[in-house]
Structure 1
Protein backbone atom coordinates (compact mmCIF):
# COMPACT_ATOMS: atom_id res chain seq x y z
CA UNK A 1 0.00 0.00 0.00
CA UNK A 2 3.02 2.26 -0.38
CA UNK A 3 1.67 3.72 -3.65
CA UNK A 4 -1.64 4.83 -2.09
CA UNK A 5 -2.43 8.48 -1.61
CA UNK A 6 -2.09 10.02 1.86
CA UNK A 7 -5.89 10.17 2.10
CA UNK A 8 -6.24 6.45 1.38
CA UNK A 9 -3.45 5.62 3.85
CA UNK A 10 -5.20 7.70 6.51
CA UNK A 11 -8.54 5.97 5.85
CA UNK A 12 -6.78 2.61 6.05
CA UNK A 13 -5.18 3.58 9.37
CA UNK A 14 -8.57 4.63 10.76
CA UNK A 15 -10.17 1.39 9.56
CA UNK A 16 -7.35 -0.61 11.16
CA UNK A 17 -7.73 1.31 14.42
CA UNK A 18 -11.39 0.39 14.91
CA UNK A 19 -10.76 -3.20 16.11
CA UNK A 20 -7.92 -2.00 18.35
CA UNK A 21 -10.15 0.63 19.95
CA UNK A 22 -12.93 -1.91 20.45
CA UNK A 23 -10.49 -4.38 22.01
CA UNK A 24 -9.29 -1.64 24.38
CA UNK A 25 -12.92 -0.92 25.30
CA UNK A 26 -13.44 -4.62 26.02
CA UNK A 27 -10.38 -4.65 28.28
CA UNK A 28 -11.53 -1.56 30.18
CA UNK A 29 -15.00 -3.10 30.64
CA UNK A 30 -13.43 -6.32 31.87
CA UNK A 31 -11.39 -4.42 34.47
CA UNK A 32 -14.48 -2.45 35.54
CA UNK A 33 -16.47 -5.67 35.88
CA UNK A 34 -13.77 -7.37 37.97
CA UNK A 35 -13.46 -4.30 40.20
CA UNK A 36 -17.21 -3.93 40.66
CA UNK A 37 -17.76 -7.62 41.33
CA UNK A 38 -14.84 -8.42 43.64
CA UNK A 39 -13.93 -5.10 45.24
CA UNK A 40 -17.23 -3.23 45.48
CA UNK A 41 -19.32 -6.46 45.56
CA UNK A 42 -21.86 -4.94 43.19
CA UNK A 43 -21.56 -6.47 39.70
CA UNK A 44 -22.80 -4.50 36.70
CA UNK A 45 -24.29 -6.02 33.58
CA UNK A 46 -23.59 -3.33 31.05
CA UNK A 47 -19.91 -4.29 30.87
CA UNK A 48 -20.77 -7.75 29.56
CA UNK A 49 -23.08 -6.20 27.01
CA UNK A 50 -20.36 -3.85 25.79
CA UNK A 51 -17.91 -6.75 25.53
CA UNK A 52 -20.30 -8.88 23.47
CA UNK A 53 -21.15 -6.03 21.09
CA UNK A 54 -17.50 -5.02 20.75
CA UNK A 55 -16.47 -8.62 20.05
CA UNK A 56 -19.10 -8.96 17.33
CA UNK A 57 -17.89 -5.75 15.69
CA UNK A 58 -14.22 -6.73 16.04
CA UNK A 59 -14.84 -10.01 14.23
CA UNK A 60 -16.99 -8.67 11.43
CA UNK A 61 -15.26 -5.31 10.93
CA UNK A 62 -11.82 -6.83 11.26
CA UNK A 63 -12.43 -9.56 8.71
CA UNK A 64 -14.17 -7.40 6.15
CA UNK A 65 -12.52 -3.97 6.46
CA UNK A 66 -9.18 -4.35 8.23
CA UNK A 67 -7.93 -7.75 7.08
CA UNK A 68 -6.02 -8.08 3.84
CA UNK A 69 -5.98 -11.12 1.60
CA UNK A 70 -2.58 -12.21 2.89
CA UNK A 71 -3.99 -12.18 6.46
CA UNK A 72 -6.56 -14.83 5.67
CA UNK A 73 -6.00 -18.44 6.59
CA UNK A 74 -6.46 -20.66 3.57
CA UNK A 75 -6.66 -24.36 2.98
CA UNK A 76 -4.23 -24.16 0.09
CA UNK A 77 -3.06 -27.72 -0.48
CA UNK A 78 -4.79 -27.80 -3.86
CA UNK A 79 -4.32 -24.09 -4.59
CA UNK A 80 -0.60 -24.25 -3.89
CA UNK A 81 -0.04 -27.36 -6.00
CA UNK A 82 -1.42 -26.02 -9.28
CA UNK A 83 0.01 -23.69 -11.92
CA UNK A 84 -0.52 -19.92 -11.55
CA UNK A 85 -3.01 -19.92 -14.44
CA UNK A 86 -5.20 -22.45 -12.61
CA UNK A 87 -4.90 -20.40 -9.42
CA UNK A 88 -6.17 -17.41 -11.36
CA UNK A 89 -9.22 -19.40 -12.46
CA UNK A 90 -9.77 -20.52 -8.86
CA UNK A 91 -9.87 -16.84 -7.88
CA UNK A 92 -12.31 -16.05 -10.71
CA UNK A 93 -14.69 -18.89 -9.88
CA UNK A 94 -14.62 -18.60 -6.10
CA UNK A 95 -14.85 -14.82 -6.05
CA UNK A 96 -17.93 -14.98 -8.30
CA UNK A 97 -19.38 -17.72 -6.12
CA UNK A 98 -18.84 -15.72 -2.93
CA UNK A 99 -20.19 -12.50 -4.45
CA UNK A 100 -23.27 -14.45 -5.55
CA UNK A 101 -23.81 -15.92 -2.09
CA UNK A 102 -23.38 -12.56 -0.35
CA UNK A 103 -25.68 -10.81 -2.85
CA UNK A 104 -28.28 -13.56 -2.51
CA UNK A 105 -28.25 -13.31 1.30
CA UNK A 106 -28.14 -9.50 1.46
CA UNK A 107 -31.93 -8.87 1.21
CA UNK A 108 -32.66 -11.36 4.01
CA UNK A 109 -29.88 -9.88 6.12
CA UNK A 110 -31.24 -6.38 5.51
CA UNK A 111 -34.74 -7.52 6.52
CA UNK A 112 -33.41 -9.10 9.71
CA UNK A 113 -31.30 -6.10 10.73
CA UNK A 114 -34.10 -3.60 10.08
CA UNK A 115 -36.61 -5.86 11.85
CA UNK A 116 -34.40 -5.93 14.95
CA UNK A 117 -34.98 -2.20 15.53
CA UNK A 118 -38.02 -3.26 17.58
CA UNK A 119 -35.82 -4.73 20.29
CA UNK A 120 -33.09 -3.11 22.39
CA UNK A 121 -30.22 -4.42 24.47
CA UNK A 122 -30.98 -5.05 28.12
CA UNK A 123 -28.72 -2.54 29.84
CA UNK A 124 -27.70 0.11 27.33
CA UNK A 125 -30.97 0.26 25.35
CA UNK A 126 -29.12 0.14 22.03
CA UNK A 127 -31.41 -1.01 19.20
CA UNK A 128 -30.34 -4.43 17.98
CA UNK A 129 -30.48 -3.05 14.44
CA UNK A 130 -27.41 -0.97 15.34
CA UNK A 131 -25.67 -3.95 16.93
CA UNK A 132 -26.30 -6.24 13.95
CA UNK A 133 -25.51 -3.57 11.35
CA UNK A 134 -21.96 -4.91 11.56
CA UNK A 135 -23.24 -7.86 9.51
CA UNK A 136 -24.37 -5.47 6.77
CA UNK A 137 -20.96 -3.79 6.76
CA UNK A 138 -19.34 -7.23 6.59
CA UNK A 139 -21.49 -8.34 3.65
CA UNK A 140 -21.17 -5.11 1.67
CA UNK A 141 -17.39 -4.89 2.09
CA UNK A 142 -16.97 -8.60 1.35
CA UNK A 143 -18.91 -8.16 -1.88
CA UNK A 144 -16.63 -5.28 -2.88
CA UNK A 145 -13.52 -7.22 -1.85
CA UNK A 146 -14.39 -10.29 -3.89
CA UNK A 147 -15.46 -8.18 -6.86
CA UNK A 148 -11.99 -6.61 -6.70
CA UNK A 149 -10.38 -10.07 -6.59
CA UNK A 150 -12.52 -11.14 -9.55
CA UNK A 151 -11.62 -8.00 -11.49
CA UNK A 152 -7.88 -8.51 -10.94
CA UNK A 153 -8.06 -12.21 -11.79
CA UNK A 154 -10.17 -11.61 -14.90
CA UNK A 155 -7.64 -9.02 -16.12
CA UNK A 156 -4.84 -11.50 -15.34
CA UNK A 157 -3.28 -9.16 -12.82
CA UNK A 158 -1.42 -10.73 -9.94
CA UNK A 159 -3.36 -9.94 -6.78
CA UNK A 160 -0.33 -10.65 -4.63
CA UNK A 161 -1.82 -13.92 -3.45
CA UNK A 162 0.69 -16.68 -3.33
CA UNK A 163 0.57 -19.88 -1.40
CA UNK A 164 1.11 -19.92 2.33
CA UNK A 165 4.68 -21.06 1.69
CA UNK A 166 5.30 -18.12 -0.64
CA UNK A 167 3.91 -15.67 1.89
CA UNK A 168 5.96 -17.22 4.68
CA UNK A 169 9.14 -17.01 2.62
CA UNK A 170 8.49 -13.36 1.80
CA UNK A 171 7.84 -12.49 5.45
CA UNK A 172 10.93 -14.26 6.82
CA UNK A 173 13.29 -13.07 4.11
CA UNK A 174 12.65 -9.37 4.77
Structure 2
Protein backbone atom coordinates (compact mmCIF):
# COMPACT_ATOMS: atom_id res chain seq x y z
CA UNK A 1 0.00 0.00 0.00
CA UNK A 2 2.87 2.35 0.80
CA UNK A 3 4.40 1.73 -2.65
CA UNK A 4 1.05 2.59 -4.24
CA UNK A 5 0.94 5.89 -2.32
CA UNK A 6 4.49 6.68 -3.39
CA UNK A 7 3.68 6.02 -7.06
CA UNK A 8 0.42 7.97 -6.73
CA UNK A 9 2.24 10.94 -5.21
CA UNK A 10 4.81 10.87 -7.99
CA UNK A 11 2.08 10.73 -10.65
CA UNK A 12 0.21 13.62 -9.00
CA UNK A 13 3.37 15.75 -9.01
CA UNK A 14 3.90 14.98 -12.72
CA UNK A 15 0.28 15.96 -13.42
CA UNK A 16 1.00 19.25 -11.61
CA UNK A 17 4.15 19.69 -13.72
CA UNK A 18 2.20 19.16 -16.95
CA UNK A 19 -0.44 21.66 -15.85
CA UNK A 20 2.32 24.17 -15.04
CA UNK A 21 3.87 23.68 -18.48
CA UNK A 22 0.49 24.22 -20.15
CA UNK A 23 -0.02 27.40 -18.14
CA UNK A 24 3.44 28.65 -19.13
CA UNK A 25 2.82 27.90 -22.82
CA UNK A 26 -0.52 29.70 -22.63
CA UNK A 27 1.10 32.72 -20.97
CA UNK A 28 3.96 32.87 -23.50
CA UNK A 29 1.49 32.60 -26.40
CA UNK A 30 -0.56 35.41 -24.85
CA UNK A 31 2.52 37.64 -24.50
CA UNK A 32 3.51 36.85 -28.12
CA UNK A 33 0.04 37.81 -29.24
CA UNK A 34 0.23 41.15 -27.41
CA UNK A 35 3.73 41.90 -28.73
CA UNK A 36 2.92 41.00 -32.32
CA UNK A 37 -0.39 42.84 -32.37
CA UNK A 38 0.35 46.02 -30.43
CA UNK A 39 4.09 46.53 -30.75
CA UNK A 40 4.80 45.11 -34.21
CA UNK A 41 1.34 45.73 -35.69
CA UNK A 42 1.35 42.17 -37.07
CA UNK A 43 -1.66 40.29 -35.72
CA UNK A 44 -1.03 36.55 -35.55
CA UNK A 45 -3.72 33.91 -35.23
CA UNK A 46 -1.52 31.07 -34.05
CA UNK A 47 -0.90 32.68 -30.66
CA UNK A 48 -4.60 33.08 -29.97
CA UNK A 49 -5.30 29.55 -31.14
CA UNK A 50 -2.51 28.15 -28.97
CA UNK A 51 -3.85 30.05 -25.94
CA UNK A 52 -7.32 28.61 -26.50
CA UNK A 53 -5.97 25.07 -26.94
CA UNK A 54 -3.88 25.35 -23.78
CA UNK A 55 -6.83 26.74 -21.82
CA UNK A 56 -9.05 23.83 -22.91
CA UNK A 57 -6.43 21.26 -22.03
CA UNK A 58 -5.45 22.99 -18.77
CA UNK A 59 -9.01 23.13 -17.44
CA UNK A 60 -9.85 19.51 -18.27
CA UNK A 61 -6.42 18.16 -17.27
CA UNK A 62 -6.59 20.06 -13.99
CA UNK A 63 -10.11 18.86 -13.23
CA UNK A 64 -9.17 15.27 -14.02
CA UNK A 65 -5.76 14.96 -12.36
CA UNK A 66 -4.74 18.01 -10.34
CA UNK A 67 -7.66 19.28 -8.23
CA UNK A 68 -8.02 17.20 -5.05
CA UNK A 69 -11.42 15.84 -4.06
CA UNK A 70 -11.85 18.15 -1.09
CA UNK A 71 -11.58 21.14 -3.45
CA UNK A 72 -14.24 19.90 -5.83
CA UNK A 73 -17.35 22.03 -6.02
CA UNK A 74 -20.10 20.86 -3.69
CA UNK A 75 -22.64 22.36 -1.34
CA UNK A 76 -20.19 22.56 1.55
CA UNK A 77 -22.60 24.41 3.82
CA UNK A 78 -25.03 21.51 3.66
CA UNK A 79 -22.40 18.76 3.38
CA UNK A 80 -20.31 19.89 6.35
CA UNK A 81 -23.32 20.47 8.58
CA UNK A 82 -24.63 16.89 8.53
CA UNK A 83 -23.49 13.77 10.36
CA UNK A 84 -20.93 11.45 8.72
CA UNK A 85 -23.63 8.85 8.02
CA UNK A 86 -25.67 11.36 6.04
CA UNK A 87 -22.51 12.50 4.24
CA UNK A 88 -21.90 8.91 3.27
CA UNK A 89 -25.40 8.66 1.77
CA UNK A 90 -24.81 11.96 -0.07
CA UNK A 91 -21.52 10.63 -1.50
CA UNK A 92 -23.15 7.36 -2.57
CA UNK A 93 -26.08 9.09 -4.28
CA UNK A 94 -23.99 11.73 -6.01
CA UNK A 95 -21.40 9.15 -7.10
CA UNK A 96 -24.08 6.88 -8.56
CA UNK A 97 -25.71 9.81 -10.38
CA UNK A 98 -22.42 11.04 -11.84
CA UNK A 99 -21.29 7.54 -12.77
CA UNK A 100 -24.56 7.06 -14.64
CA UNK A 101 -24.38 10.43 -16.42
CA UNK A 102 -20.70 10.27 -17.40
CA UNK A 103 -20.95 6.56 -18.25
CA UNK A 104 -24.00 7.17 -20.41
CA UNK A 105 -22.28 10.05 -22.21
CA UNK A 106 -18.95 8.25 -22.80
CA UNK A 107 -19.94 6.42 -26.03
CA UNK A 108 -21.35 9.62 -27.56
CA UNK A 109 -18.26 11.53 -26.44
CA UNK A 110 -16.02 8.93 -28.07
CA UNK A 111 -18.09 9.06 -31.28
CA UNK A 112 -17.90 12.85 -31.42
CA UNK A 113 -14.16 12.99 -30.78
CA UNK A 114 -13.35 10.33 -33.37
CA UNK A 115 -15.70 11.97 -35.88
CA UNK A 116 -13.79 15.25 -35.56
CA UNK A 117 -10.70 13.77 -37.24
CA UNK A 118 -11.93 15.23 -40.52
CA UNK A 119 -11.28 18.84 -39.43
CA UNK A 120 -8.16 20.77 -38.40
CA UNK A 121 -7.62 24.05 -36.60
CA UNK A 122 -7.08 27.13 -38.76
CA UNK A 123 -3.53 28.12 -37.88
CA UNK A 124 -1.78 25.24 -36.15
CA UNK A 125 -3.34 22.44 -38.23
CA UNK A 126 -4.16 20.37 -35.14
CA UNK A 127 -6.74 17.71 -35.91
CA UNK A 128 -9.82 18.25 -33.80
CA UNK A 129 -9.89 14.64 -32.64
CA UNK A 130 -6.45 15.19 -31.09
CA UNK A 131 -7.57 18.52 -29.67
CA UNK A 132 -10.75 17.12 -28.09
CA UNK A 133 -9.19 13.83 -26.94
CA UNK A 134 -8.57 15.45 -23.56
CA UNK A 135 -12.32 15.33 -22.97
CA UNK A 136 -12.32 11.53 -23.27
CA UNK A 137 -9.39 11.41 -20.84
CA UNK A 138 -11.31 13.73 -18.50
CA UNK A 139 -14.48 11.59 -18.60
CA UNK A 140 -12.56 8.37 -17.92
CA UNK A 141 -10.63 9.99 -15.05
CA UNK A 142 -13.88 11.30 -13.52
CA UNK A 143 -15.48 7.87 -13.84
CA UNK A 144 -12.52 6.30 -12.04
CA UNK A 145 -12.60 9.01 -9.36
CA UNK A 146 -16.28 8.43 -8.61
CA UNK A 147 -15.88 4.66 -8.62
CA UNK A 148 -13.15 5.17 -6.01
CA UNK A 149 -15.37 7.53 -3.98
CA UNK A 150 -18.27 5.08 -4.15
CA UNK A 151 -16.10 2.20 -2.92
CA UNK A 152 -14.71 4.40 -0.13
CA UNK A 153 -18.25 5.45 0.88
CA UNK A 154 -19.32 1.80 1.06
CA UNK A 155 -16.30 1.19 3.30
CA UNK A 156 -17.49 3.97 5.60
CA UNK A 157 -15.06 6.72 4.51
CA UNK A 158 -16.27 10.07 3.20
CA UNK A 159 -14.22 12.89 1.66
CA UNK A 160 -13.17 15.80 3.83
CA UNK A 161 -14.80 19.15 3.32
CA UNK A 162 -12.80 22.09 2.01
CA UNK A 163 -13.60 23.97 5.23
CA UNK A 164 -13.91 22.23 8.53
CA UNK A 165 -16.29 23.59 11.17
CA UNK A 166 -13.27 25.04 13.00
CA UNK A 167 -12.26 27.17 10.00
CA UNK A 168 -15.75 28.54 9.28
Normalized against structure 1, the TM-score is what?
0.88
Distance in 2, Cα, partners of 1:48 & 1:127: 17
Alignment match, 1:64: 64
Tell me the secondary structure at the aligned position of residue 74 of structure 2: coil
The answer for the alignment partner of 2:18 in structure 1 is 18
What is the alpha-carbon distance in structure 2 between the residues aligned to residue 22 and residue 138 of structure 1?
Answer: 16
Superposed CA deviations along residues 124-163 of structure 1, whole A, max 9, x for unmatched, are 110000111111011000000000000000111x24423x
Q: Provide the rounded CA distance (Å) in 1 between the counterparts of 2:5 and 2:28.
A: 35
Q: Which runs of 5+ in 2 are unaligned?
A: none
Which position in structure 1 is the counterpart of 2:28? 28
Q: Determine the structure 1 residue equivalent to 2:94.
A: 94
The two structures have a TM-score, normalised by structure 2, of 0.91
CA contact (8 A) 1:49 1:123 kept: yes
Deviation at 1:27, TM superposition (A): 0.8
The alignment of Structure 1 onto Structure 2 pairs a total of residues equal to 167
Q: Which moved more, 1:4-13 or 1:89-98?
A: 4-13
- For the aligned residue pairs, the C-alpha RMSD in angstroms reads 2.0
The more displaced of 67-76 and 129-138 is 67-76
Residue 128 of structure 1 is matched in structure 2 by 128
Deviation at 1:42, TM superposition (A): 1.1
- Would the alpha carbon gap of residues 96 and 53 (structure 1) be closer, same or farther in structure 2, given more than 3 Å must change? same
Q: Deviations over 1:71-100 (max 9, x none)?
A: 223222322222110110110111011011
- Structure 1 CA distance, aligned partners of 2:50 and 2:71? 27
* Cα separation, 1, equivalents of 2:8 and 2:149: 19
Q: 1:57 to 1:123 in 2, by over 3 A?
A: same
Offset of residue 39 of structure 1? 2.1
Contact 1:70–1:167 (8 Å) recurs in 2: no
Runs of 4+ in structure 1 over 4 Å off: 2-5
Distance 1:37 1:135, change over 3 A: same
